[in-house]
Structure 1
Amino acid sequence: MASLEYAERHPRLTDAVIVLALLGAAVIGANLIGPGESRPQDIWVAEVVTGIACLALFKARERPRGTVVVATVCAVVTGSLGFILSPLLLAPLMVALYWLAATTDSRTTWWYGGVATVLTVGTAVGVDFDEMVALRAIGPALWLLLPLAMGSRIRLRHAWLDAVQARAEHAERTREEEARLRVTQERMRIARDLHDVVAHHMAVANAQAGTAAHLLESDPALTKKILTDLKATTSSVMLELRDTVGVLRQTGSDAETLEPAPGLAQLPDLLKVCGSAGLAVSLEIEGEPRELPPGIDLTAYRIIQEALTNATKYSASATAALRLRYGGTRLTITVTNDRRSNEQPRRGSTGYGIIGMRERANAVGGDLRVSDSGAAGFEVVTALPLPPHTPAPQAAL
């Protein structure tokens, strides 16, 4: 393993060692003779030609096709001079075919490799068809097909490893994008909670302070009561802010136990706070109330809270109507102001209150509609999905 890593880090040095080894093998191969055969003349010619094929291997990585062509021509010339095309003389062509198969596509590999094999085997067979013709043909063919197969295997393995790495990188990018998306969604949720808490309580506190200032001289007793309610309102907002921000500080099992998220069970307290701010809210419930899933319960409470906050801030009258209708699969919430002042937010406004209500409704699969027609006043209608209602079994008498 260490030698492979060293060879990959120093490819030129590795190629030089291979070329020197092949030059030595060429010298030995040029001096081989078969049984009963005479030694060919001009051995130096075979050594020079094979040396050229070895030197061409320095370009095998960058130009595998040209290297195969040069090595094939050298092998054909050597065979034509009468030398035995043993693996020692075919070694440069074998290395060239390996790099061709490892660095090019299958079509190019088998096209160049097939032509090189046919020419080399044809040179080895010659024109004498004696009892040794099969041996002269099979030997060179097998030696040349071996590097083609090995190079193709290496190429396919590298392609598989590249595909695995690409999939891993894609999965990592997907996980990072999903994590960023979750962080963004969590930030939006916390921003909505903070807006709901601060906007509602500050609007109520502002109305209470204004009422107390107005009644300070005429009705001191009522003023004292309103100021007491104002203290309770500001304490409530501080507690809710502490709980909301505390979620950001949670660290596993060391996190503090926070109060349950608000829901429609706290609706009477919400209406009482609105009343202390001078907004009388009439409540009408249609259908059979039932326990809601936590997400739907919180969403319904927050939407009602924001809608009543808008009524407290903008309504010219001191009344609002809240209607809850429990259907088979939907909970419909309607908040209506009898009248609205010129400061009432218009439909399509970019105010964060309406945007937050709509996002909350959409997040749980519901929808929200805002109407600000002059005839009907300002109305917020929300439809939230409900699970199928299963009546409780009656006890046997």
Structure 2
Amino acid sequence: MKRYLTLAASAAIFAAFPLAAQTTAAEKEKKEYPSPPEIVAKAKAEEWLAIAPSDLLVMELAPDAKSKSRRVVIQLMPAPFSQGWVGNIRKLAAAKWWDGTSINRVQDNYVVQWGDATETKALPEGLVTVPESEYVADITETPIFDPVVHGHVIQPWATNVSGEGVWSIPIAVSPLNRKKARIKTSREKETPKARQYRNETYGWPTGFSKGWPVSGNLNARGFGKTGEIWPVHCYAMVGVGRNLSPDTGTGAELYTVIGHAPRHLDRNIALVGRVIEGIEHLSSLPRGTGPLGFYEKEEERVPIASARLGNEIADLPAFEYLSTESASFAAYADARANRRDAFFIKPAGGADICNIPVPVRRKPL
């Protein structure tokens, strides 16, 4: 345990050293805390999980003004989330439907959207109509609760009713907050302090499922026995454009978030993936001047040369993500919530789910 001197004793000791020495000692103490990128860089090889090429959608835009290629790589959402729309996207890619379509909308601090600007291109056969109920996944709570593991609360309670299996949801809780609040288990009432420190505007619990940011509602349809969970709108997440309800979109019109996380869209639009490489080719595009950021002239639109599943791309590098159930991810999430590295003065004591982006990288050769 770290021992603390009284204020008077501390002053007497530090007065005996030059100011430069005091500054060096303080800087050294701060540098003992690694930054989030440093934690990720030191993660063990076995903590990184491969992303199957067949779970990637690779979109090639027309070259830019300097004739440089522009590739956008999208990781598709795994089960149990949004599988009806993801299935449609696979069919659209197989049919080469996006070839010759375009980026049609760029709204500042919001989204980039693409598809058929004319809305006349015939869709391939076999696309399904997905109901609004699929915006969320049903879960069944089990009375299992692990306390604190590597700076996180790990609660492997979520089991998909359809039998997809069990996944753990690490919820970021700072050491300070854990001392001030007992976190609710399935068999005890939640204290006011615990409720204060676990508050999340759009749902609870909030954490990660199979490498994806998610939120939920433990008691959506019962008394602690059932609930629901859904993916959330963070930066670079990809969703399905739609018309007014009950329309849910086919997957032919897609968008990605390029601004502050629009969490109010959660459970209102289907999320189907995230951009893992090439987001700069979308976020840096000129903003549209029409309503909602749509381009008003055809020449403003950015042509899409092709969109294929990753297993059809010969030169596609291998990608992997840091397991959200790993010790390194837990340390990384804690560091994102409590920045103690040299630049920072005051740790925040917490982090929004979208401020803990899941690390994704090209697999080292």
- Between Structure 1 and Structure 2, the one with more helix by share is 1
Shared fold by TM > 0.5? no
Report which structure shows greater RCO (CA 8 Å, sep ≥6). Answer: 2
Q: TM-score, normalised by structure 1?
A: 0.21
